[in-house]
Amino acid sequence: MASTSCVPTATLEVKRHRAFFKRHIQLLPRPYTSGDSQRMTLAFFCLSGLDLLGGITESGAGEAESFREWIWSQQMPHGGFRGSPAVEEPSKSNTKTSAHLAMTYTALLNLAILRDDFSRLNTEGLIDFVASCQQPDGSFSPSPGLTECDPRFTFCAFSILSMLSSPSSSSSSSSSSWSRIDVPRALHFLARCKSYDGAYGQGPHQESHGGSTYCVLASYKLAGRLEELGKRERGRIVRWLLARQSDWEADLGAVEEDEDEDEEEEGEQEEQHKQELGLFGGGFNGRIGKKKDACYSFWCGASLAILSSHHLINSRHNLHHLLALQSPIGGIRKTADDPPDAMHSYLGLAACALLKGEALGRQEGVEEGEGNGEEHERMEKKDEKQEQEQEHQQVSYALEGLATAGLDPCLNISLETRDWIVQKLGSGREVR
């Protein structure tokens, strides 16, 4: 059996991924037709992917301006953003708003990535729109009057409000944003989504899910209430999330069993085949008993980052899995058998940005400590420190092409774009 110390020899295919996102942002392929009403979020996957790869600056000023104008054209008269012109605007005969919480969340991120100054944002209308989406049980619907309510939309609502102001701020804009919603009731709804194993589902009494767990944890963090989840409760969530990472040796053992039955592939060809299938190590699934999926390296990884536990994952194996899912035409595949798509390509890159941020933040490894004076203990600690330093260096090298120093795990954007939001859209901004 191969040694578990094996690390990825591949690196991030930066040029191919940039080209992939640029193609998609100019002209979406036919399979995306059914998602035309969500074009704003599809644009986010492409723009934020380019942001992580340092590709935004390659766009000319005219192109960036046309993107900004298109985004602003989706702002609804009474606040919030729709997903695309395919969504009907309100009229005298139909006064229902076309704004959508998820599209509004990604619209704001898109504008920040494009370094807009937000001078045209209808902040007062936006806050009213968010508040109108809250339901009597504390949950949020994507638009007023819709019945689809789950943690995703609570996360979007909290993200939007957090971009406008800090929940702990005493400024007038904070008072006019967070105070418009019932935060305790919203958190109570999220608490009801907890499953028997400590993680969270899409609603009360539903199966735990990696994406839902992320939305719940990010919402608590954005609201400044993460500590309300007790230490024991957070520990149960961490254990559930870590259990979502596949086992390197189990995956490799399954491959070797198949090889005993079919020995057609040999040598380098066999090794390449294993890597192409992403069978070497470390991917995450989103639910118990499900297959690995590139996007859950972000959903589960970011959840662990919010809980200050991202360092507990096997970074090398996770990175190897993600790099193995890179497509020759650019982009990252959901699984080895799927073509690349915008969502999995972006979330795979976002997971890589978390890995890079963790590696850069821990380059010095673990401090040795005093020990008890015994030589073998000192040597073990020295070996452990050297191994961790080597791992972080290898991760940093493989991801050298990422332009960002890390990712904000709550808002799901580069640290540089997060800083732009704080500067231009924070609590000091006057409400219109």
- Please check whether residue 68 lies inside any domain of the structure: no
Domain extent for 399: 115-251+270-366+378-425
Q: Give the C-alpha separation, 254 to 289, whole Å.
A: 15
Averaged over successive runs of 10 residues, the pLDDT of the chain (432 residues) comes to: 48 95 92 93 97 84 91 96 87 69 98 96 96 97 94 98 74 65 98 97 96 98 96 97 82 50 53 52 91 96 97 92 95 94 98 91 42 52 67 81 88 95 70 38
pLDDT of residue 70: 97
Residues 6+ apart with CB under 8 A from 266: none
Within a domain: 198:
yes
Whether residue 76 lies inside any domain: the answer is no
Question: What pLDDT is recorded for position 225?
Answer: 96
Q: Is residue 12 part of a domain?
A: no
Tokens of 124: 């007062």
pLDDT at 358: 87
Identify whether 48 is part of a domain.
Answer: no
Q: What is the pLDDT of residue 428?
A: 41
Find the CATH number of the domain harbouring 166: 1.50.10.20
Instruction: Decide if 315 contacts 230 (C-beta within 8 A).
Output: no
- Report yes or no on 308 lying in a domain: yes
Contact 12, 402 (CB under 8 A): yes
pLDDT of residue 406: 86
Query: Tokens at residue 120, please?
Result: 């045209």
Number of domains in the chain: 1
CA distance 351 to 349: 5
Tokens of 239: 């254990």
**3-state SS class at 430:** coil
**Is the residue at 276 inside a domain?**
yes
Residue 136 lies in a domain: yes
Task: Write the single-letter amino acid at 313.
Answer: I
State residue 249's pLDDT score: 54
Provide the token pair at 364: 């010095």
pLDDT at res. 1: 35
Picking from 214, 242, 252, the residue whose alpha carbon sits closest to that of residue 350 is 214
- Let me know: does 341 contact 29? Beta carbons within 8 Å: no
Residue carrying structure tokens 């609502």: 157
